[in-house]
Structure 1
């Protein structure tokens, strides 16, 4: 019997194996046909809907269930700049994106694809990959939403750096162009080749604009490797109380929870940890069983996550053999009101499943649980050579190259879960889509600035609490 492949399976069959099969050319054509209902130029520009929700009301709603004393810290971080506000207000943009044109093609979306949610990390094989690194809001949703949030972040970041408006627009356009061109490449690749594709350190270095920037990236990687070593982390995060190691309190950012904040402390969170253990693959479970739980403390992280129940867990296999696991509360995705409910009953499982689907390689300790307080959580290693960008000293060239790198990672992630040929067919080979989304990004950056000013006014009027961390 002759083997079938993409080149010789008929496009249609009367019945049996292959029902529903469409060739790459047919899927591209189907994507192109979507332009009739949703022209590419329709993605251009932004105008707030007449019944747009008050951003202050949405921010208040997003505080529901957060630790009350950390809400001022959250708003204090968001108040630092329009860019910090953008990072912490994914719920606002999710509501706005729901009113914009979409083709109807869905992918596993990141949900918060701004440029600071991309970066480097160590794989289980100890290689350094570049990829999306935040999946708290992941959910199946229109692919355009991620692209637009990323493009708008490029404009807002450029303004944060004091770059000219022309540089901001070019950075956004180059970013979208990179997404379109990478998606075209993925549309032509074999399915397994898309799945196995990686953006490793060598590929990152090749796109750096200067030798100096290549050297700086290499230095950052080595620095991140050193900082994630146990001999570096352990003395900075741990003190000894009697003979037992204990995580150091550094309020308000690191502190041990009360029984009310974290039910289960008396039992060492035995039930929640057992549920986490069962979420791990069998071979990782065997590894995890070598470690014993010693301590847990709430640890404030990020901007958008401030006030949620995020913690740091200390586990030991021997006196000189620790691991730190970051335990993050998983709430409902900000996309859910507009894209539909998650199929997962546990929000931590939603995050883990989305991360494994979108990322080229994921942390071996990635797993989920439900606490005795009814909240859902997911686990991952703390740091593990995680490399986040330092935006402040960038020029226009570095911003553009980094944006293209983020768009590459986003395109690869979308191609794993979505129909790359259909998306590529819709965008086409011309710059029509790039120009439209750039126009949207510039005008949405203006909306973000307007919302930020309203946010600052609400803080000054005492309608929203904000506090410095000092």
Structure 2
């Protein structure tokens, strides 16, 4: 059972539903309903939606808490990797191409590298149904991930995963993503009714009040005045955006802007409220004093990714902070449907290990993170790997118990 010093030692003495409700108390109740329905689907979905429980349960006195401190994703699991178009500087040249990497930094903080690693390995053990794997296969995949992670650390080499330097499922995903055009994304999320406007489908894009729409427009317009091309960000339409899992219920908007010209060169933006990291209560290392939470998330992404999106901005709005970014047609993630062979999964997990290690290496020496040599030394010491496997296996079983408790508590609600 989970062993912490706060009086909550197992699923039979703690109220999981109460803990979840307390964490989500400030979120939109209507959208939270959708989150909880998704979490009821399986234990992996429950795990995705309860990052805060993972860190609440992580032992305070744990040898792996002494691992090198790096900039971590914080919510690393199998489905928080994907494709995106990043901007890479080569001398005076700027290249934009599609990369594969970590795609969620809402919880990003300075913490032991083992926290990312252990959460990812736990997600492997919980994804048996989605992966179509037995217990032996899962153990093999977990070891492949750890071996790839350590081998990448030992080399001390960082590379962005792109179509020309990878293979298998990831290469196919990048290739398919690269072929998608902005007009396709526009046609999917918007419609032409004289002018282009958002497609309010009642599921992914919801209507908002006129007052709130005007407030969002003013915030974007005020920020745009400081940009090189303010006309690019002229707002044409705004809706409430429903997306993701762990962040469902936070304030989030999809914004249609003029871009490079209507109707086919418009752009779509994501404008998302950023709250304190779920890891914050459990951090032992002093963090940088960011001005607001959106700046924390933006900097975590810029620190970790070797090629970052061209548009990433922190904006203060409605008494808090929001992150503004471009919605790209090239964004996609791996779909786990049980039809991927074990050899393909092993290659994929090998890539995830490299991506994780590269992210940790890329953030080395920045804002208090460990230096590269410390990470190389950590990679050479294999004694910590069995500890990760043991705890991840144990905690996956705990998640299964928590999931059952959650389903029982919500069976008459959702």
- Indicate whether the TM-score tops 0.5: yes
For the residues of structure 2 that align with 1:87 and 1:299, how far apart are their CA atoms? 19
Q: State the partner residue of 1:333.
A: 277
Cα displacement string for residues 94-134 of structure 1 (whole angstroms, at most 9, x for unaligned residues):
21235343115311111011111112222233322121111
Q: Residue 152 of structure 1: CA displacement?
A: 0.9
Q: State the partner residue of 2:142.
A: 172
Q: State the partner residue of 1:20.
A: none
Q: Of 240, 258, 268, which aligns to 1:324?
A: 268
Does the 8 Å CA contact 2:69/2:110 hold for their aligned counterparts?
yes
Does the 8 Å CA contact 2:80/2:102 hold for their aligned counterparts?
yes
Q: State the partner residue of 2:222.
A: 274
Q: Which has the higher contact order (CA 8 A, sep 6+)?
A: 1
* TM-score normalized by the length of structure 2: 0.87
Does the 8 Å CA contact 1:276/1:369 hold for their aligned counterparts?
no
Is 1:231 aligned with 2:205? no
Cα distance, 1:447–1:342 mapped onto 2, change above 3 Å: farther
Q: State the partner residue of 1:6.
A: none
- 150-159 vs 137-146, greater mean Cα deviation: 150-159
For the residues of structure 2 that align with 1:276 and 1:54, how far apart are their CA atoms? 46
Q: State the partner residue of 1:39.
A: none
Q: Residue 305 of structure 1: CA displacement?
A: 1.5
Matches within 5 A, 1:71-82: 71-82=32-43
Q: Of 312, 324, 335, which aligns to 1:390?
A: 335
The CA RMSD over aligned residues, in Å, is 2.3
Cα distance, 1:428–1:277 mapped onto 2, change above 3 Å: farther
Is 1:93 aligned with 2:50? no
For the residues of structure 1 that align with 2:72 and 2:232, how far apart are their CA atoms? 35
Q: Residue 287 of structure 1: CA displacement?
A: 4.3
The residue matched to 2:266 in structure 1 has which SS?
A: strand
Cα displacement string for residues 214-247 of structure 1 (whole angstroms, at most 9, x for unaligned residues):
8xx43x43442344x2321222222345x44321
Q: Residue 302 of structure 1: CA displacement?
A: 0.9
Matches within 5 A, 1:265-414: 265-266=213-214, 269-275=217-223, 278=226, 285-287=227-229, 289-316=231-258, 317-319=260-262, 320-339=264-283, 343-372=289-318, 374-392=319-337, 393-414=339-360
Does the 8 Å CA contact 2:298/2:312 hold for their aligned counterparts?
yes
For the residues of structure 1 that align with 2:188 and 2:322, how far apart are their CA atoms? 25
Is 1:433 aligned with 2:388? no
Equivalences, count: 388
Cα distance, 1:394–1:145 mapped onto 2, change above 3 Å: same
For the residues of structure 1 that align with 2:406 and 2:69, how far apart are their CA atoms? 32
For the residues of structure 2 that align with 1:277 and 1:85, how far apart are their CA atoms? 42
Q: Which runs of 5+ in 1 are unaligned?
A: 1-45, 279-284
Cα distance, 1:179–1:233 mapped onto 2, change above 3 Å: same
Cα distance, 1:64–1:47 mapped onto 2, change above 3 Å: closer
The residue matched to 1:318 in structure 2 has which SS?
A: coil
Q: Of 145, 162, 166, which aligns to 1:204?
A: 166
Q: Of 43, 57, 70, which aligns to 2:31?
A: 70
Q: Which runs of 5+ in 2 are unaligned?
A: 9-13, 88-94, 365-370
Q: State the partner residue of 2:117.
A: 147
The residue matched to 1:127 in structure 2 has which SS?
A: strand
Q: State the partner residue of 2:72.
A: 109
Cα distance, 1:325–1:177 mapped onto 2, change above 3 Å: same
Q: State the partner residue of 1:221.
A: 174
Cα displacement string for residues 185-230 of structure 1 (whole angstroms, at most 9, x for unaligned residues):
11xx5xxxx4xx322222221xx3xxxx58xx43x43442344x23
